[in-house]
A and B are shown apart, each in its own frame.
Chain A
Amino acid sequence: MSRADWEVVIGLEIHTQLKTKSKIFSGSSTAFGAEPNVQASAIDLGLPGVLPVVNKEVYKKAITFGLAVGANINRRSVFDRKNYFYPDSPKGYQITQLDLPIVENGQVTVELPSGGTKTINLTRAHLEEDAGKSLHENFHNQTGIDLNRAGTPLLEIVSEPEMFSSEEAVAYARYIHQLVTYLGVSDGEMSQGSLRCDANVSVRPVGTIELGTRTETKNVNSFKFLEQAIEYEIERQIQVLESGQTVRQETRLYDSVKGETRPMRSKETATDYRYFPEPDLLPVEIDDAYIEAIRLEMPELTGAKSDRFVEQYQLSQPDALSLAANIPLADYFEEVVRSGGDAKLANNWVRVELLAQLNKDNVSIENSPVTADQLGTIITKIADNSISGKIAKTVFEALWRGETKSAADYIEEQGLTQVSDSSSLEPLIDRIISENPKQTEQFRAGKTKLMGFFVGQVMKETQGKANPQQVNEILNEKLK
């Protein structure tokens, strides 16, 4: 048998940290990167006598996500305790939602890199608390426990097992990442663990209906690793089955250094979770008015925004989509248009010049040194022929470097306004013609390529400020 004889079935559980100021059940900060345990309060540490209280914003974020994927928002949701012992789980149980999660039954359609689209159903998305971190280095053969992350709100988004390749799974994970980032539900910082995937993978002989035994590869935190982990699992399971053995249902870890998965050894995997309703919390009830209010506040979804950009600004479909997919970038673009007027120029400048600079200096759009208003001014000046595209770049760079605060002032101060005045250009051109008799003669003899030489001379003399079109016209006239 070969790989072609096997069908792969994949379901993903995506844990996304919600973008809130405080934790799901305590008033501790969720900021990333603090010193160990300075953001672990009495509640986060599970001290005797402490009690949880639910953060409102966490619900808002979960509902926002649910609405964006067309899911049911449960009017009544209930928190449960999931019992297991692990040092990064300070209470000995995790507060999560089992039977009545906030979100159920959504659907997303994603574009596949190899072409076509794929629709994936979401089983549910439930709220829960994140665990702390175990640090295994440098403590005389002991593990250090940092509970800063304990209690960070998570939305666990569970898909149906209906992806049939790592390509589909990764495209789906990327889509969810983009969506939660776009919606502001999560900051989407993968490098900080804001989005982690558990991949449930099984294989079955082509043509069978029954699912094969699955393994769950936990905590994969990059798309590249997700693809590698799934591919490894597929190959491994096929090999196991083809050698006549059976796949063990188990939890595995992806080792990105070795590029392989291996069974998890920790106790957490083997236990009976003994779920029961969390008696320290009450059911959460959400009314229609609250859901509608969230719907009104929701950002325009990517598809709708992209269509609008095509319609309103006459952008091409791909340009519109690439702007619309990134809310802050799209907002910036629209602000540039409001200030600068010309949507085509704005599109070019934002997507090409600005993005290149942002990437080069590793700056986010929110922190761009050139404001939308400043870029708008530049575009206005290009559109009315006050400056050339080349000068515009000089102005942009000056703004980027913080050498000036105002594009208009800078153009003025540096005397960068295009010279379009023929009364000042004509004497200059006359002089250049008389100083270059040889070239003039050759030009007039038919070597019209020399036009570039004359334009270059003019530009040199005017330090690039001459309006190239006008220079051409005058030269053509004088060299006749």
Chain B
Amino acid sequence: MIHEQSIREILTSLDNKQYSCRELVDHFIARASDADPNLNAFITDTYASARNEADHMDKLRSNGTAPPLAGIPIAHKDIFCTRGVKTTAGSLMLDNFVAPYDATVVEKLSAAGTISIGKTNMDEFAMGSSNENSHYGPVKNPWSEKAVPGGSSGGSAAAVSARLCVAATGTDTGGSIRQPASMCGITGIKPTYGRISRWGMIAYASSLDQAGPMTKSAEDAAILLNVMAGYDEKDSTSANQTVPDYTQSLNQPLKGLKLGFCKEYFGDGLDPKIETAIQTALRQFEAQGAEIVEVSLPSSKHAIPAYYVIAPAEASANLSRYDGVRYGYRCEDPVDLEDLYKRSRSEGLGDEVKQRIMVGSFALSAGYYDAYYKKAQQIRRLIKNDFAQAFEQVDLIIGPTTPSTAFSLGEKTSDPISMYLQDIYTITSNLAGLPAGSFPVGMEAGLPFGLQIIGNYFDEGRILNLAHQFQLESDWHRLTPEATT
């Protein structure tokens, strides 16, 4: 089946004229048109432009001038600005916002020949771990209609999991790529902070946000990361580091690789089935020549408090621009400026977003800055130092992505804290700025879950190498939800 093919296989098929770009794109559009009314993975479809681009790519292919990924159907999380296409960040606030420019990620993927078939659903402004905080309604987990897909990149995860597109872009501030990847049984990697440009990516928490690919396999992730990564002079925080060819390191032998087993990750609250599956994976890595070393990350336990101060604080400022003046939602008949601001913001933004703006404003307010914001940034230093020490002993750190498999729709909506605890394993790498990926490692009661691999700065290649070697020896990443078969 076309939709089960890897990017490499699709490119070969296109080269061999087994099908055209147009046929490929039509195939995925047909699948999406069929499944999405139920899944709700997309906010906006771009089928018409996708078909035009596919025809164009077929022309380029026939005259030999096609870019490397010509014709690969993808989808963009609706947090990336796409010129001429509605870009909502999952919010009523931006329901009428047509982006006047392309995000760097969008521009690069487009230049490489990929074709976007739509903008995927997400938690509003990327705030959430279940995709239930979208103005456009929750996304269903393709593995179970009753389960959440995870969030905030839930639409992208569901779309890739249900094979509605070959791959999708996501963003990860506290786990928003990895957690839904884990819950939907796909591969997702959050690269080193600064590896991928944030230009055109709607900000949640600037010092934590990072884009990444969401794919069926580590190999596909390497191919997309090759395109997405790189220095961008439009983003002052983007890293001026050369981008290696991530596909080149996929097949390096694991012999001699030192893998950190972090004891803090395997305590209370972790589903024992997930722990068992990770232990099994570790045995497999050992069998392939890797060495397991125990490491400690003692400050990790403070990660959630630190994150839930830093992210809301940055968000509170980042979201001040949504004021109903230059774009976005404006309330009806404002009586004065204050009314315009307050009602536009209160009506245009959802509850979780407002809650985080309130928390963040509080953490920055006079008299509390030192005790909250500054304290959290200091804890961040301790977490960073822990990792620095650990990476003196090991090459990669292995752990779970999530404490459990996908929970039920509505299960945690009334309790923000239990929702926040979803991010317990993923947040630390955002705080430290380290690359980390989630890769399918098992199933429980019909729901997938992932293994998390955290690497040192700019060591995405090694993460993908380990994941690829695992995927060569296992089939978890090939399993697809029954709903799509």
Which residue of B has the minimal Cβ distance to A274?
B364
CB < 8 Å: which of A42, A54, A92 contacts B101? Answer: A42
Stretch at the interface among B27-35, B53-61, B316-324: B316-324
Which residue of B has the minimal Cβ distance to A143?
B337
Asked if A92 contacts B323 (CB within 8 A), the reply is yes
Asked if B369 contacts A272 (CB within 8 A), the reply is no
The yes or no answer to A341 lying at the interface (CB within 8 A) is no
The yes or no answer to A259 lying at the interface (CB within 8 A) is no
Asked if A51 contacts B198 (CB within 8 A), the reply is yes
Residues of B within 8 A of A53 (CB): 233-236
The yes or no answer to A461 lying at the interface (CB within 8 A) is no
Closest-CB distance, B192 to chain A (whole angstroms): 15
Instruction: Map CB proximity to B onto A79-96 as digits: 1 under 8 Å, 0 otherwise.
Output: 001010101001111000
Instruction: Map CB proximity to B onto A41-70 as digits: 1 under 8 Å, 0 otherwise.
Output: 010011111111110000000000000000
Closest-CB distance, A143 to chain B (whole angstroms): 8
Asked if A279 contacts B89 (CB within 8 A), the reply is no
Measured in the bound complex, the distance between the Cα atoms of B320 and A48 in whole Å is: 11
The yes or no answer to A281 lying at the interface (CB within 8 A) is yes
Which residue of A has the minimal Cβ distance to B80?
A49
Asked if A47 contacts B236 (CB within 8 A), the reply is no
- Output the residue of A47, A90, A91 with the most chain B CB within 10 A: A47
State which residues 256-278 of A face B: CB under 8 Å: 267, 272, 274-276
The yes or no answer to A145 lying at the interface (CB within 8 A) is yes
**B interface, size bucket:** 35 or more
The yes or no answer to A282 lying at the interface (CB within 8 A) is yes
Closest-CB distance, B384 to chain A (whole angstroms): 15
Which residue of B has the minimal Cβ distance to A267?
B338
Residues of A within 8 A of B203 (CB): 48-49, 280
Asked if A49 contacts B364 (CB within 8 A), the reply is no
CB < 8 Å: which of B89, B100, B317 contacts A42? Answer: B100
Closest-CB distance, A431 to chain B (whole angstroms): 83
Residues of B within 8 A of A280 (CB): 203, 206, 236-237
Residues of A within 8 A of B319 (CB): 92
Instruction: Map CB proximity to A onto B184-201 as digits: 1 under 8 Å, 0 otherwise.
Output: 000000000000001111
Which residue of A has the minimal Cβ distance to B88?
A48
Residues of A within 8 A of B89 (CB): 48
Instruction: Map CB proximity to A onto B211-242 as digits: 1 under 8 Å, 0 otherwise.
Output: 00000000000000000000001111100000
Measured in the bound complex, the distance between the Cα atoms of B319 and A291 in whole Å is: 37
Measured in the bound complex, the distance between the Cα atoms of B94 and A91 in whole Å is: 15
Residues of B within 8 A of A50 (CB): 199-200
Residues of A within 8 A of B329 (CB): none
Asked if B321 contacts A272 (CB within 8 A), the reply is no
Closest-CB distance, A85 to chain B (whole angstroms): 6
The yes or no answer to B284 lying at the interface (CB within 8 A) is no
CB < 8 Å: which of B80, B237, B338 contacts A282? Answer: B237
Measured in the bound complex, the distance between the Cα atoms of B234 and A45 in whole Å is: 16
State which residues 350-408 of B face A: CB under 8 Å: 361, 364-366, 369, 373
Closest-CB distance, A128 to chain B (whole angstroms): 15
Measured in the bound complex, the distance between the Cα atoms of B89 and A48 in whole Å is: 9
Residues of A within 8 A of B364 (CB): 83, 274-276
Measured in the bound complex, the distance between the Cα atoms of B236 and A41 in whole Å is: 17
Asked if B101 contacts A51 (CB within 8 A), the reply is no
Instruction: Map CB proximity to A onto B409-433 as digits: 1 under 8 Å, 0 otherwise.
Output: 0000000000000000000000000
Which residue of B has the minimal Cβ distance to A79?
B236
Asked if B313 contacts A87 (CB within 8 A), the reply is no
Asked if B237 contacts A48 (CB within 8 A), the reply is no
The answer to whether A51 and B317 touch (CB under 8 A), given A87-B325, A276-B364, A276-B369, is no
Asked if A276 contacts B317 (CB within 8 A), the reply is yes
Chain A-chain B contacts (Cβ-Cβ < 8 Å), number: 106
The yes or no answer to B304 lying at the interface (CB within 8 A) is no
Residues of A within 8 A of B317 (CB): 81, 83, 91-93, 274, 276
The answer to whether A272 and B233 touch (CB under 8 A), given A42-B100, A87-B325, A87-B337, is no
CB < 8 Å: which of B101, B103, B314 contacts A279? Answer: B314
State which residues 1-48 of A face B: CB under 8 Å: 42, 45-48
Residues of A within 8 A of B326 (CB): 45-47, 90, 145, 147
The answer to whether A91 and B320 touch (CB under 8 A), given A274-B361, A276-B364, is yes
Residues of B within 8 A of A275 (CB): 364, 369
Measured in the bound complex, the distance between the Cα atoms of B89 and A193 in whole Å is: 38
Closest-CB distance, B251 to chain A (whole angstroms): 36
CB < 8 Å: which of A49, A52, A145 contacts B202? Answer: A49
Which residue of B has the minimal Cβ distance to A281?
B236
Residues of A within 8 A of B365 (CB): 272, 274
The yes or no answer to B120 lying at the interface (CB within 8 A) is no
Which residue of A has the minimal Cβ distance to B235?
A51
CB < 8 Å: which of A42, A47, A83, A279 contacts B320? Answer: A83
Closest-CB distance, A322 to chain B (whole angstroms): 45
Measured in the bound complex, the distance between the Cα atoms of B100 and A45 in whole Å is: 12
The answer to whether A48 and B81 touch (CB under 8 A), given A91-B320, A279-B207, is yes
Measured in the bound complex, the distance between the Cα atoms of B337 and A251 in whole Å is: 19
Residues of B within 8 A of A48 (CB): 81, 87, 89, 94, 97, 99, 202-203, 321, 327
Residues of A within 8 A of B103 (CB): 49
Closest-CB distance, A174 to chain B (whole angstroms): 36
Closest-CB distance, A95 to chain B (whole angstroms): 10
Residues of A within 8 A of B207 (CB): 279
Which residue of B has the minimal Cβ distance to A84?
B320
Closest-CB distance, A107 to chain B (whole angstroms): 32
Residues of A within 8 A of B457 (CB): none
Given contact pairs A48-B87, A280-B236, enumerate 4 new A-B contacts (beta carbons under 8 Å): A49-B80, A49-B198, A85-B341, A87-B337
The 9 closest A-B pairs by CB, nearest first: A92-B320, A274-B364, A279-B206, A279-B207, A49-B200, A46-B321, A48-B202, A272-B366, A49-B81
29 intermolecular pairs with C-beta atoms under 8 Å apart: A42-B100, A45-B326, A45-B327, A47-B101, A48-B89, A48-B97, A48-B203, A49-B199, A49-B201, A50-B200, A53-B233, A53-B236, A81-B317, A83-B316, A85-B320, A85-B323, A90-B321, A92-B317, A92-B321, A93-B317, A272-B366, A274-B316, A274-B369, A276-B369, A279-B205, A279-B206, A279-B207, A280-B203, A280-B237
